[in-house]
Structure 1
């Protein structure tokens, strides 16, 4: 593909208008939105409004006057439309890790007598750490098996299967309907982590008959660093599932201030403490922007950008040490692309120094995210060109690019 070819694709891009909605540094090619999305201008304005007027002027009356108290359910209801859920099945609260703990614990309670939490080796480490801690606390067993052995590993001892829909490193995508059906066939529940899916690929939780799900707000949803996460509980489970974190916001009548805990009978029971209002304000503005775009069009453009990048990198960089580890077929991957390179960390640092921001995952993976709302075909084409320059000239082989920092 030539640069003019890429420009012609941009001229016909139905999502091109969204680029102006983001505040990105001039000249930067940002390919790390799968890790931290850039700020939508509306989110920055909403933060200012919430801090200056609602907090600064309206003060405590904002819990009612400005709807702070309803924000977890209101924002969750908006996210529901992005993941194929009903508005009353999603709440925005806490972090992905906390939500994972709550729902996995709840799943154990829904399957008494079954003590196995099943996941895959190589899953996002925090998910495995959280499940390991839960298993230790609850007297259960975390059983992690290789991905190709997972379907056969679901058995009568399995209480819940916990998987990340799109793998954080390789971008491999599980068939949600198939895996959920297999879990149900064995009498187990299915819990999905949608952190690398929501806002990127079309998700249909109810279409797949999923039971539970969690996801984060700061990747493709662009809600800001540490943005509130979300959780999904299928309506059929809400009256029975119990959260191990029985905080006052999950009480049937939070402002009755009773000594004893009575859980709400709906999604509110999965709430715990006072919501983080500023984080929810930014996330809501970002989600409102995301909802303006058709999810199918978002995924289609994102996959086209992935294909473009894969084709250009492999065409330009053959014999230079890069090897694709992301599935080639669009239906089998999310919206990030990973290659291995023996000196991956230094390569990424050299790219960042040239205005192309990707990231590195140990031991040798260079990872690039393709967020469709603000990336152009020309920018992706140029990123591949710059990667070729870095590899062809050996520009990565400098002391400053080899020095590891705590965060890439």
Structure 2
């Protein structure tokens, strides 16, 4: 049964215009890495760049590197490298802090931009990643608003004259469902509110179109599909039309119009720099900058096409190899509703994933019963995909046999 699918996988890899990108990453032979939706693989050239940062820029130039090596301008310079990957023009993205901190800045900033006490509600994606929900609840308390959790598909109907802002995840972290960013944004803005998007599971995997779709504010991490490294800094997008009035709830010295004046009163810098807070985390920042080199010459549309082909092929292989009813896909079949991961419901998910990893198929899980497989088109191939499904079927069969064996 497997030979036709293996043959097709080889043909698909041979025709893949992104196949050579795999060589840019440090990957182990014999391991299929399908957890890039949690931590992207290391680009091979990053260690060399970081050795130079540490030994020369820090070790020799020391304080001079803030100017001579461009450390001071890194947050906005790297933001402009991220911008094309999320469909933003230059000058609207600043890199720094964590996703959680940026969600707080964006959501409180959105309520302040609306500046209307009658808009006393913040709508939040009820299926959101937990941190976003925690931050949204805190932002609601801080701004005197009421938090209204709704399913993403119901946001358009839920927003109205009382809505100040809506916070929605572009791709659901559990299921890989892609939500309707253009439609939801249009509905939120038509209601007179502001749309804030979390792009953690979409940036670097599919076109986002922040400018084209009129998004107000957005945040995202860089350690998943952007391969920036563990804990690499996140980013904040503030649409140019909002920047003159964007009032960050965390006005640190780095976002001051004249940071080295050290005046007691705060005066905000112009543009995206208003999203900065404290001293940038330079080592992680510059590792991210180097990692973004793998995107040079890559069109995000090409990445999206391969992502859909990979996830289609994986689901086809799972259907072919795994008995009906053993696993259930939670990821939508429709391309317009799918991110770049496949989530499979599996009653014994923790045990199955443990054995998969031992056999070189690295995915992850969400307790109690979801297997997650992330497909990063820059380094995952079709032969990887077929092998992952085949080993998954073997592990499931062994688990079922073991469950039926007499003790």
Q: TM-score range by the shorter chain?
A: over 0.9
Alignment counterpart, residue 373 of structure 1, candidates 374, 378, 385: 378
Rounded to whole Å, the distance in 2 between the matches of 1:368 and 1:74 is 32
The secondary structure found in structure 2 opposite 1:394 is helix
Aligned equivalent of 2:95:
92
2:42 pairs with 1:39: yes
Question: What does residue range 206-245 of structure 1 map to in structure 2 within 5 Å?
Answer: 206-245=211-250
Partner of residue 285, structure 2: 280
Q: Which one of 249, 258, 262 corresponds to residue 257 of structure 1?
A: 262
Give the paired residue count: 398
State whether residues 121 and 147 of structure 1, in contact with CA within 8 Å, keep that contact through their aligned partners in structure 2. Answer: yes
**Corresponding residue for residue 198 of structure 1:** 203
- Summarize deviations over 1:315-358 as a string: whole Å, max 9, x none: 21133520011000112111000010111111111100100000
The answer to which of 358-367 and 285-294 deviates more is 285-294
CA contact (8 A) 1:200 1:298 kept: yes
Separation of aligned partners in 2, 1:289 and 1:179:
32
Q: Which residue of 1 aligns with 2:306?
A: 301
Counterpart pick for 2:346 among 338, 341, 344: 341
- Identify unmatched segments of 5+ residues in structure 2: none
> Which of the residues 75, 78, 97 maps onto 1:75?
78
Structure 1 gaps of 5+ residues are: 399-408
Structure 2 residue 14 is the aligned partner of structure 1 residue 11: yes
CA contact (8 A) 1:119 1:143 kept: yes
4+ aligned runs moved over 4 Å, structure 1: 395-398
Q: By how many angstroms is 1:253 displaced?
A: 0.8
Contact residue 164 and residue 194 of structure 2 kept, 8 A: yes
**1:56 and 2:70 matched:** no
Q: CA deviation at 1:133?
A: 1.3
Shift of 1:119: 1.3
Distance 2:47 2:307 in 1: 25
How many Å separate the matches in 1 of 2:340 and 2:349? 20
Q: 1:43 to 1:115 in 2, by over 3 A?
A: farther
Shift of 1:134: 1.5
C-alpha distance in structure 1 between counterparts of 2:131 and 2:357, whole Å: 26
| SS at structure 1 position matched to 2:45 | helix
Asked if the contact 2:5/2:317 (under 8 Å) is kept, the reply is: no
Q: Determine which of 363, 366, 382 is the counterpart of 2:368.
A: 363
What displacement does 1:291 show?
3.5
SS of 1:298's partner is: helix
Structure 2: how far apart are the matches of 1:124 and 1:228?
A: 18
Superposed CA deviations along residues 62-86 of structure 1, whole A, max 9, x for unmatched, are 0000000000000000101111111
Q: Does 1:111 align with 2:97?
A: no
- For residue 363 of structure 1, report the CA deviation from its aligned partner: 2.2
TM-score, reference length from structure 1: 0.95
